[in-house]
Amino acid sequence: MTFDEMTDRIATGQGFIAALDQSGGSTPKALRAYGIDDDTWSGEDEMFAQIHAMRSRIIESPCFGNGKVIGAILFEKTMDGTSGGKPVPARLKERGIVPFLKVDKGLEEERDGAQLMKPNPGLEQLCARARELGVFGTKMRSVIKANNPAGIKAAVRQQFAEGARILACGLVPILEPEYDITAADRAEGEAAMLEAIEEGLDALPEGQQVMLKLSIPATPGLYTALTRHPKVLRVVALSGGYSTDEACEHLARNPGMIASFSRGLLQDLRAQQGDADFDATLGAAIDRIHAASVA
Q: What pairing do the DSSP bridges indicate for beta strands 82-83 and 86-87?
A: antiparallel
- 86 included as an active-site residue: no
The number of residues in the chain equals 295
Q: Is 13 helix (H, G, I), strand (E, B) or coil?
A: coil
Q: Give the other-Cβ count within 10 Å of 48's Cβ.
A: 20
Helix (H) or strand (E) segment spanning residue 114: strand 114-115
Out of 139, 145, 153, 213, the active site residue is 213
Q: Comparing C-alpha atoms, which of 24, 18, 79, 19 is closest to residue 48?
A: 24
- 76 included as an active-site residue: no
Residue 64, phi then psi, degrees to nearest 5: -70, -25
Helix (H) or strand (E) segment spanning residue 151: helix 149-168
Residue 157 half-sphere exposure, CB side, CA atoms within 13 Å? 6
Q: Comparing C-alpha atoms, which of 289, 260, 266 is closest to residue 17?
A: 260
Query: CA torsion angle for 37, 40, 44, 45 (degrees, to 10)?
Result: -130
CA distance 89 to 113: 36
229 residue type, one letter: H
Out of 162, 176, 178, 190, the active site residue is 176
Residue 225, phi then psi, degrees to nearest 5: -65, -35
What are the percentages of helix, strand and coil residues in the chain, rounded to 5? 45, 20, 35
Q: Which residues are catalytic?
A: 176, 213
